[in-house]
A and B are shown apart, each in its own frame.
Chain A
């Protein structure tokens, strides 16, 4: 049993709903009680979808449990098939139905329908949403293509030459309730097209079962989001020899690397290598004078694996930030996140507990937080600017305007979205100059109207705790006065470091001099 106040991911059947809702001509019969219908609002409210998710909930009640819930399942399947006439039927169960073991998938298969039926077994008590989405997409791909496995030769990624046409690729992974998937797909298709590469199928977003059957018309697969598409890509590689890309094209360097990877896999000569550096404004914006103020900004990153890893690379290599924290709730990608964190000399935080993330954030004392909608809340409480880079998201993370994360335009969007919450360069300079004037409000951040936390309050509440600590360290008047002169966004860090130093040296009272000693000690 795990106490959960808030969760980054929903249950696995919500992942299955993301795949079903992303696609056309599919219907999902979910053996579930009425309350599970809440999941519809994720699509209709957060994504502002104008269609209901294609899901029928069997709506079993307590009084059905003594009777025949299997009959109820069959009745709902029959009605759903007659009404919605899907080309492929997904059948599964949510957490409660898993316990009563009606095996709805097997029931559906015995009903004599012509269409393919995918029996989804998604263990609700051990797995989560992204796993459920990945498994559903994989099972669907497998069901629709398994008959072609033996009859097909392995796909030669160079066959486009013999066929006398442009190379074709599939873009796999984008789905509803993914972060900016809609726009990423447009951006990546545009980039591929410029390079002379055609898109065969985008899936699951916007694809029909017929499109899934056509996947093998392409030479290679673009694995756009590992969380959703890696299992399917791996299966297609094993059974049809289709290679897939590993680079996620978020940020300039990764986009360029991605283009290289695609060209290599297709043996397509890359003729515009030099041009690529200048496709986005990010490199120049990042190099322009004003952005010197960005150099060394402390940034804390938490999100799904794909976006957190990509963000850390952009932050460090393309904006010159210092990454002071990196973590993910995607346990499936923990290994990769740990490796990335190690390169950055930070300890990776792998957790589904948002309070642990908030604690880590507080300790790291960042100047910018990149996270999910929950980190936006936490950062707001701590008075730290934040930009959202990953699901779970809020309705405002599904903007009306074109705002991808991937490719050239994605890099432009990222520059704006990350830098705007911060103080503009000149503004920060002026604030630093005038901060001792009486008009200056402690915690002033920017013209964008962020409400800064009252840092004095944080300090005071910390002090209360400090007095009770067993180390018994006391801040003298002069030490305290000096501490208030430290810019608020690093004050927490300076305080911790000074105390650490005092303990190390056995100094019982912290004066202004101790502060400077500690500063010199830690560099």
Chain B
């Protein structure tokens, strides 16, 4: 492991809670519905984070707790059955219903597991119910996906068939690219988790080789291990380097000759490097500060330093699983400062003191930093854009070069905001 500096920080935070991941999960599995059991705040949070993505009738909603629900838990359970009945009557196409716990439901100890169990009996053969917590007292942003996937594992049947299982939500086009490349490598049995339909869950067992596409799936990985799956140790497929090592690690697990991998990915790498050059020109030597939010920060820092030659000031992450991030941390330059957790005020003091060229942060902080003359990139875009893989490396770099490019065009640094 390289000599990386680890720090922990506590205090007021500026991050999303796990409920936010519903925004991409419901798009990944169009036959599922995510029912948050929470407050008006939860409903408002999801619709605000989802922004313009409002559908005729979204496949997510909130059972909003009211005063009378807080009085007695038994009644709250009955109320929830009523809401679920109404919902299923209205949306008969729902195949899987996620009951998603929130801060208030966790605090009043609403037992969603028992509710899910009862509902499973009542709607046997029609709808499956699973539960997990996306609450902000336990989860940050992408950890919501970890919870949702973990909740699905008990529903996955066992099989000893050898297969490659890609774990973590990917954009569909990126997923298709990856599968094509793996087939070219000679791995034919490839499945994804989460699947594109909630009912098409992959079967797993001791010959399932798990390759993570996202770095925020600690709990899911643990449960997959318990089911006998082999976890392939690799960096994450962000950037050329990460993706190449990711393919190599998978090939090694399937005993595919390394030369064959190079033969297949070399032209892709050559092409990607060419595309990356124009972004590198802009990013080279620029100083980067990453605020914690998505847990993608360490992989992004590795890509932006190793391939785009940016200098890393600080790499924030809401949560650090050193074991899962081992391969990534090994690729970071010496003396990289990683900060787990957040004290947003102190961190912003450090941002101002270090005068970075670019700050990766949440939407609540972006405009205020821009107003101070500090360029930003919103981190939420990383979870909505197809950024994985060799082919996407230039697009990924483009997300960071664009704000800097704009700076070159627009000259005034600090503006009066209204």
Identify the A interface with B (CB < 8 A): 1-7, 9-11, 13-14, 33-42, 44-45, 48-52, 56-62, 65, 76, 79, 83, 94-96, 99-100, 123-126, 128, 182, 355, 374, 377, 381, 394
Contact yes or no, A34 B11, CB < 8 A: no
Chain A residues lying within 8 Å of B363, measured Cβ to Cβ, are 40-41, 44-45
Chain B residues lying within 8 Å of A11, measured Cβ to Cβ, are 39-41, 44
- B313–chain A nearest beta-carbon distance, Å: 21
Contact yes or no, B54 A35, CB < 8 A: no
- A65–chain B nearest beta-carbon distance, Å: 7
Nearest residue in A to B39 (C-beta to C-beta)?
A95
Known A-B contacts A48-B367, A50-B370, A96-B104; the reply to A40 vs B14 at CB < 8 A is: yes
Contact yes or no, B43 A62, CB < 8 A: no
Cα A45 to Cα B378 with chains together (Å): 11
Known A-B contacts A10-B40, A51-B368, A99-B104; the reply to A2 vs B137 at CB < 8 A is: no
Cα A50 to Cα B366 with chains together (Å): 9
- B86–chain A nearest beta-carbon distance, Å: 6
Q: Which of B22-61 contact A (CB under 8 A)?
A: 38-41, 43-45, 47-49, 52, 54, 56-58, 60-61
- A228–chain B nearest beta-carbon distance, Å: 18
Nearest residue in A to B18 (C-beta to C-beta)?
A35
**Subset of 11 A-B contacts with CB under 8 Å:** A1-B79, A4-B61, A6-B54, A34-B13, A35-B103, A35-B135, A36-B45, A48-B367, A62-B135, A99-B104, A99-B107
Known A-B contacts A5-B58, A11-B40; the reply to A62 vs B417 at CB < 8 A is: no
Cα A36 to Cα B136 with chains together (Å): 8
- B82–chain A nearest beta-carbon distance, Å: 7
Number of residues on chain B facing chain A (CB within 8 A): 65
Nearest residue in B to A354 (C-beta to C-beta)?
B54
Known A-B contacts A62-B137, A125-B66; the reply to A57 vs B12 at CB < 8 A is: yes
Pick from A1, A79, A182: contact of B65, CB below 8 A: A1
Q: Which of B12, B17, B365 has the most CB of A within 10 A?
A: B12
Cα A52 to Cα B365 with chains together (Å): 7
Contact yes or no, B364 A40, CB < 8 A: yes
Give B67-92 as 1s and 0s: 1 = Cβ < 8 Å from A's Cβ atoms: 10110000010011011001100000
Contact yes or no, B417 A57, CB < 8 A: no
Nearest residue in A to B416 (C-beta to C-beta)?
A50
Chain B residues lying within 8 Å of A96, measured Cβ to Cβ, are 39, 103-104, 107, 136-137
Our count of residue pairs bridging A and B at CB distance below 8 angstroms stands at 190
Chain A residues lying within 8 Å of B83, measured Cβ to Cβ, are 1-3
- B325–chain A nearest beta-carbon distance, Å: 21
Contact yes or no, B417 A41, CB < 8 A: no
**Smallest CB-CB A-B distances: 10 pairs:** A50-B417, A35-B17, A35-B136, A50-B371, A40-B364, A95-B39, A1-B79, A96-B103, A33-B136, A10-B44
Nearest residue in A to B87 (C-beta to C-beta)?
A3
Nearest residue in A to B78 (C-beta to C-beta)?
A1
Cα A25 to Cα B180 with chains together (Å): 59
Cα A62 to Cα B69 with chains together (Å): 21
Chain A residues lying within 8 Å of B45, measured Cβ to Cβ, are 35-36, 38
Contact yes or no, B82 A1, CB < 8 A: yes
- A68–chain B nearest beta-carbon distance, Å: 14
